[in-house]
Amino acid sequence: MSEKQITMYSADWCGDCRRSKRLMDELNVSYTIIDVDSDLSAAEKVKEINGGAQSIPVIVFEDGTHLTEPSDIALKAKLVELGII
């Protein structure tokens, strides 16, 4: 498992969130989930990151970059770029 910190702002009902979780699980990438439905400050953080949009998942990486609603290809490429996989 990776030791690098990844945070995913997510919700149980979100299909894109489930897809990104599944990919990271398959790649043995560790991450922290923050549920935007149960944490209102997290929902506000998502809007701040996305310039007002409430789009999820938002995946924030240790280097301060993030991806919003990434495709599996984009997420995997980012993980490779950061040396996580």
- All structural domains of the chain: 6-81 (3.40.30.10)
The predicted-structure confidence for 32-70, as pLDDT tens digits, reads as follows 999 999 999 999 999 999 999 999 999 999 999 999 999
Where helices occur in 1-85 by DSSP H, the ranges are 15-26, 40-49, 72-81
What strands, in cross-sheet order, belong to the sheet with 32-35?
32-35, 6-10, 58-61, 66-68
Q: Output the pTM of the full model.
A: 0.92
